[in-house]
Structure 1
């Protein structure tokens, strides 16, 4: 939009004007429009991130309205015509399609007085009559309504996209994150770990789960999985990451200043699930690994941590299941008899 407006302003400077009301003033306004429009277009090419940053939204809204105003008045002064007043639709569409929702309403409120100013100034320049306010109103209503309609459909599309994103990254049976979302969510969790805290990755597996499906059917098996997911939520902290990676296998990512509280929460979750009536007496084996607090953590560490947690889980299974094993620890932590 800015680039197109800038090019049109440059072309207007090249078109001869037979009897301009004020040629110099019109050329100056067209030059200002061209410089602003092409300047913003050049910025978007050299630094595309600037257009995606909300810090510049208000500036772009102001510049868009400035271009609409200067182009309309420039035409009236340069040619004595009034076609450019319809360019007022561009800032409205720009706000509806690209800026934040708050600025869309600001633009909707700002458009009528700006159009009134433009039409009134043009009436003074070319003498189009005293009832300029009627023309301003006729121009403003469709411009504002068009922008609000675009904003409505944009908001609906964004809400639908957000819902689809959540569905893609969510396990439909348990409501936990799925394997697809694990890496992205782990990166966000790693970025907000408080200093001095250690990130722990726990791999959990429901013992002999296949026997539940074989004996009671998959519907009951699904109830057991949902039960365990609910138990994990009850024992997780608000910023923990809970993932069903497949079948009866789950991953729990958390952060603590010490290891003992993590192990205590895992043990409490295992005991709570085993005692739950919907668990069908299914026990849980777990493998736990901690990232050293002295080493910077990033999303790239996840695969290594998962591998170690998986190795600890297999050690717990080898020890007889129904226990927690710490990676590198001397022996599993067994469920009390």
Structure 2
């Protein structure tokens, strides 16, 4: 079975650096809203998520009719694939595993485009040539997971154009775009209004630290596709606590600004420390750091109650690649001290 980050249930974990959620934890206002939602849970949730979609529409400046909500971004990934039933797909390697899992569930043939270490795992323009007439769907994660590499807007625009010309559906996962300081300029959400072949994914999970509540959403200008997805996905998939938490989260502007400031500061600290330990650190624009070590780290960290993400089970990666989320300073210091001790003992 494929192992994700955030698996704190099988081991005794004191510090979890494997799950890419906001270091500040759940905002108080979001927590209160979720608890209030429990009081209303004797009722069925709004299957259309009308109030939540209205709130997202105002914040994202996107028509409510172009928004669909789901039980996390993964729910929408599977629903989208089940609705479209593509015959051939194009994925990056390495990238988020759920795309592959969803595609295999409908017996879709998958073609992989290998991201090269010599390019810092950055996507290059030669990818466009991979979008051939027989490709039905393309999944891109921007910033990518696990590398954190950002695909620049100029290249993304060219990819959108190629997908439109090939009548290929482009799914862009922007779940980590909120952590990019200039993410609003890099997002493709505005292109959804003019393209019928573009679907942009987002989630509350990472930014507001609520992976356990499961809440994601997507933008798409193809209303016919959205209606088909609604008929395909299970009804009432978004709980009342999740919907109320999402509405409250969209009001947490101060929390978001403070989070981004803290993440930037602590990320710089971690990168500096990892480089001093002679680890190879790659350019990540998200709230996590992707790096390579010449010694085994996962089991030795686990023995000390610290969980990091071993990336060796990603397609296109081998042993020695790791991902860590940016946490609070005291937690980051503990991780660096542990890694230093591991190096000294090796």
TM-score (norm 2): 0.21
- Whose Rg is larger? 1
TM-score (norm 1): 0.21
